Amino acid sequence: MKISTKGRYGLTIMLELAREYGNGPMSLKAIANKNELSIHYLEQLATPLRNAGLVKSIRGAYGGYQLVNEPAEITVGDIIRVLEGPITLVEGIEEQEPAQQNLWLRATEAVKEVLDTTSLLDLMQTDTEKIEDAYLFYI
């Protein structure tokens, strides 16, 4: 399985919205500018995220997007499945010999476990830990 720019940039959108959770909507333009991404591409990604019920759009001068649920309730797996489809490492696994089937099934389950147990809140806390670690490194 290879995560495309759809999955990576979609995760960027969701992480930026998680950082602003509780502060009102955030525009895709602000996210695009902050991360040096194409606004048009982010608009294409926001639609399936909205249709899946992960974000909602707010119209108006101070509108934008915001998370429907708290960052702790949205997993990376939720986001990747919406934008990339099912999480599968190897296609045609049924054609493999049993030993290989077992390997690929276990590997796929391990990836799903990581994605499904990592929330947006976890990623935000990782940001803080890295900043603190980097600060301690330079002291």
Do 28 and 42 form a contact (C-beta atoms < 8 A)? yes
> Using CA atoms, how far apart are residues 15 and 66, in angstroms rounded to an integer?
11
∠ Cα 120 61 52 (to 5°) = 35
Q: What is the CATH number of the domain that holds 9?
A: 1.10.10.10
Confidence label for 127 from pLDDT (cuts 50, 70 and 90): low
Tokens of 19: 């950082």
Q: Is residue 135's pLDDT more than 70?
A: no
Do 62 and 24 form a contact (C-beta atoms < 8 A)? yes
> What is the count of structural domains for the chain?
1
HSE-CB for 34 with a 13 A CA cutoff:
14
CA dihedral 5, 9, 10, 12 (to 10 degrees): 150
∠ Cα 124 27 75 (to 5°) = 35
* pLDDT for 16: 97
Domain extent for 64: 5-138
Q: Is residue 95's pLDDT more than 90?
A: no
Entry pTM: 0.85
Average pLDDT of the residues in 106-129: 90
Question: Which helix (DSSP H) or strand (DSSP E) does residue 32 occupy?
Answer: helix 28-35
